[in-house]
Amino acid sequence: MRPCLSTTNTRKSSRLDAVSCPEAAAPLQRFIAPGIVLSQTFPLLLSSLHSAMHDLIARFFSLGALEMSAMPAGVFTHLFFRKHEPRSLDVVALFALIFVIGTAVIYTSLPLGFFFATFLVGRWLAFYVGFMLASICGYRISPWHPLALAGIPGPVMPRLSKWWTVHVVARGKRHVALQKLHAKYGPWLRVGPNEVSVCLSAAVRPIYSKLPRAPFYQAAPTQADALITLLDRAEHAHRRVAWNKAVSSEALLAYQPLIHNRLQQLVETLRRRCEDGSAVPLDHWLTLFSMDTMGDLAFSGGFETMANGKDPEGWLDILSLGVVFAGTAGQVPWLKDTLKLLPQQGPIATFQKFAETKVKNIRGQSHVVKKDMLSIIMEETTITEEEAAADAALLIVAATDTTAQVLTALFRHLAQNAPVMTRLRQEVLAAFPALDSELDPLALARLPFLDACVQEALRLAPPAPFGPPRFSGPDGVWIVDRYIPPNTTIHAPIWSLHHDPVNFARPDDFFPERWLAESTLKPHNRDAFVPFSYGYGICVGKQLALRNVRLVTATLVRAFDIQFPVGFDVKAYDRSHKEYGLWSHDSLQMVLRATED
């Protein structure tokens, strides 16, 4: 302890000596002087630091308040647009307005640079969009959503967004997905934030007899509405009068020579193509036949695809692309405004441009008395050139693809069911023994087994497998025992109805006998059979399509023995089917041998 005290006293004595002796203190002053200066400036530094920290904290809390203000703004936007469906340009304009005004206000009112002001507004917009999306998603999956209150179940992803449907349609497997979901959730199924699928035959009549078309029909950019895309019921009824006259019994009788000539051309073409026993893509030739026939009936000729062996102008490819385009874009209607901004025309607009040239040709020959379908439609109504072109495009789609797809499905199943093919051929030959005799459409309509085969093909592969969407309107509607809330899209999935074991026994089997009067196969629910839709929107060309399908079927089974080529994978062909509103699939290869051989 003593040494420590001694050391302390020694250090204290040295400090006193240094103070009393200036010479001794001089070296120490060099170190003390800066400390004195520092002690004098430290309060100023502390004050500056405190001011900077205050500004930093104030800025931090002001940023937090600004970001938190995005929450009510996002929620309010959701609540507003929930009542007033936005179009894409509305959203773009809203975001642009917020960005410009926000940047201007912050830049002029705060001592911030332009870059930081734009960054701040962009950050606020990110929070704004995030809160808005959170509000939308939370509401859509909440138990307070009107469809949830109506007791309509469904998986989470379709309830959140229609982009789920876009994904499913783009894959071409919507018909399969809907069937699986209905099997899991029941006949009432929520397939969108505000969309319901009803796999119930009792719902078909009320849905399609009284409800207007859904906004889906306005999704694809077009120059004018065709009959099938009109939303106004009165305008639809007015335009339909002319269409009904164009496909009346009298008109169909007048078209018969044109159809007969094309049938002869089809048989001769197939005979040449299969002389060496090689397989031919039957679906391809059926499509070309349908297109040439429709060209004759609608425009008094002009395609000649069978003579070329292909569609030289590529309209069938454009048509196929247009179907996919409309089937996907139609799920998110506000995409229409965005697509309109693109410099290049979409496939549907391109196809309508092609149809417009046909319209101009017809109007340029107004002095010639013509009896084609488009001439009748244009004479009976006062429609613009664009509307006539839209109807012309509809004529090609309705008669070419749908007829060809029904025929393709029928011959695919006939080739796999030899006893059915034999029975059908015997029935046709009994009615028309001479191979070179012209087939009478009215007599064919009275052949029960032919009609049963056509009906079964329509059941297994309806030409439009997705039920046409309808709209519940601003007041909502009761369908069967359910109340459908206002502004809800609703449809009955035709393919699922046709393949539901509740409606049809052995639903996935090709069994034409079920349609015969003497059949006892149960269940057999004819109310669930709607291949041409129902109500005011039923296919206007139904009778023409059925007539052509019967004529082609009877002609080919009478002229050829039709089989699959050796090694043809039927299951792989079936798996290739994709549904975009209409069908797409791999080529159906067939071996055709002339029966007189």
In this structure, the number of other CB atoms found within 10 A of the CB of residue 570 comes to 13
Mean per-residue pLDDT over the chain, rounded: 83
pLDDT for 25 = 43
Instruction: Report DSSP letters for 443-503, one per residue.
Output: HHTT-HHHHHHHHHHHHHS-SS-SPPPEE--TT-EEETTEEEPTT-EEE--HHHHHT-TTT
Could you tell me the two tokens for 523?
């269940």
The Cα 326–Cα 336 span in angstroms is: 10
Is residue 319 within 8 Å of residue 397, measured between CB atoms? yes
CB 544 within 8 A of CB 463: no
53-92 tens-digit pLDDT: 556 445 544 556 667 778 888 888 888 877 666 666 667 7
Cα Rg of the chain, angstroms: 37
Q: Given the structure tokens 């305008």, which residue do they identify?
A: 235
Question: CA–CA separation, 247 vs 325, rounded Å?
Answer: 29
Residue 316 CA: distances (Å) to CA of 322, 549, 586: 10, 20, 15
Exposed e or buried b for every residue in 405-420, given b needs 16+ CB within 10 A? bbbbbbbbbbbebeeb
- Taking 90 as the threshold, does the pLDDT of residue 299 lie above it? no
| Paired tokens of 437 | 């005799």
Query: What pLDDT is stored for residue 85 in this prediction?
Result: 64
pLDDT tier, 413 (very low <50, low <70, confident <90, very high otherwise): very high
Distance CA 207, CA 196 (A): 11
Cα 537 to chain centroid, rounded: 19
Is there a contact between 472 and 487 (Cβ–Cβ < 8 Å)?
Answer: yes
3-class secondary structure, 230:
coil
How far is 547 from 535, CA to CA, in rounded Å? 21
Burial class (CB in 10 A: 0-12, 13-18, 19+), 156: exposed
**Over residues 506-519, mean pLDDT:** 97
- Helices 249-273 & 282-299 angle (0-180, nearest 10): 140
DSSP 346-396: PHHHHHHHHHHHHHHHHHHTTTS----HHHHHHHHS---HHHHHHHHHHHH
**What's the token pair of residue 2?**
């003593």
Query: Residue 219: its pLDDT value, please?
Result: 67
| E-strand stretches of 5-77 | none
Name the pLDDT band for 169 (thresholds 50, 70, 90): very high
Lowest-confidence region among 2-11, 290-299, 388-397, 474-483: 2-11
**Is 539 annotated as a binding-site member?**
yes
> How confident is the model over 516-530, as a mean pLDDT?
96
198-594: what CATH class?
mainly alpha
What integer is the mean pLDDT of 307-318? 83
CA dist., res. 290 & res. 269, Å (int): 14
Assign 544 a pLDDT band (cuts: 50, 70, 90). very high
In this structure, which amino acid lies at residue 243? Answer: W
Would you say residue 16 has pLDDT above 70? Answer: no
DSSP alpha helices (H): ranges in 188-248? Answer: 201-210, 233-246
pLDDT at 23 over 70: no
Binned at pLDDT 50, 70 and 90, residue 241 comes out as confident
Rounded alpha-carbon distances, angstroms, from residue 460 to 59, 169, 180, 464, 469: 68, 19, 17, 11, 21
Rounded Cα gap, residues 396 and 354, in angstroms = 11
Residue corresponding to tokens 């203190």: 25
| Measured distance CA(534)–CA(529) in Å, rounded | 10
Q: Where are the domains of the chain?
A: 63-140, 198-594
State mean pLDDT over 441-467: 96
Range 153-159 average pLDDT: 96
